[in-house]
Structure 1
Amino acid sequence: MIYSTIETIPGKEITEIVGVVTGNVVQAKHIGRDIMAGLKSIVGGEIRGYTEMLAEARNIAIQRLVENAELLDADAVVGIRFTTSTIMDGSSEIMVFGTAVKLGVK
């Protein structure tokens, strides 16, 4: 499955728009990560535990987006965008959305 933040796929023609597809995940903080983050905030710098957690959440959201596009028999998803929101204290949602399309050769 091809997915892209741009509105086209180079060398391909969009022959049909199948629909909007999404993928999301709600990720909660881990107490161990919170303790390390608190210590890191004193000295500054990257909080690697959170960076890794968010990277994993993005990958899960993309995987779910692709699965939803495959259910629609799409060839690609174009114009994907990411959004985040706080669900409750200590947890966040990462959502990815885009347009599922069918492709042909130019």
Structure 2
Amino acid sequence: MIIVSTPYVPGYKITKTMGFTWGLIVRSRGLGGNFIASLRTIFGGEIHEYSELLNQSRQQALDRMKEHAKAMGANAVISVDFDSSELGQSMTEVLACGTAVFVEKETAPASPVRLS
């Protein structure tokens, strides 16, 4: 599965657009993690517990988006973006979304760009 943040895939042509695809996850650090993180805020610096939580959440949202796109018959997702928000005081929602497409390798040779 090709995943890109651009509205195209270099070297490929889009032959079919399946539509909007997404992956969503809502996670909580838990009482112990929140307690440790709140202690770290006293001294400043990176809150590793939350960085790890968000990295895992983004990866899971991305994996769910890929599965959704695959179920739609896509082999690529273009214009991929992430969004996140806080729910309550202890939960984070992470959304990965994009456009599910079917792409084929471009067979025409690349032509140079010419400026007039």
Say yes or no: does 1:104 pair with 2:104: yes
Deviation per residue, 1:58-85 (Å, 9 max, x gap): 0110010000000011010000111112
Structure number with greater CO (CA < 8 Å, separation at least 6) is 1
**Superposition TM-score, scaled by structure 1 size:** 0.95
Name the counterpart of 1:42: 42
Identity %: 33
Question: Quick one: which amino acid aligns to residue 89 of structure 1?
Answer: Q
Question: Where do 5+ consecutive residues of structure 1 fail to align?
Answer: none
Question: Where do 5+ consecutive residues of structure 2 fail to align?
Answer: 107-116
Most deviating of 30-39 and 95-104? 30-39
Matches within 5 A, 1:3-42: 3-42=3-42
1:30: how far off?
1.5
1:99: how far off?
0.2
Higher percent of residues as strand: 1
Q: Which runs of 4+ in 1 moved over 6 A?
A: none
Query: Rg larger in 1 or in 2?
Result: 2
Name the counterpart of 1:86: 86
**Superposition TM-score, scaled by structure 2 size:** 0.87
How many residues were matched structurally? 106
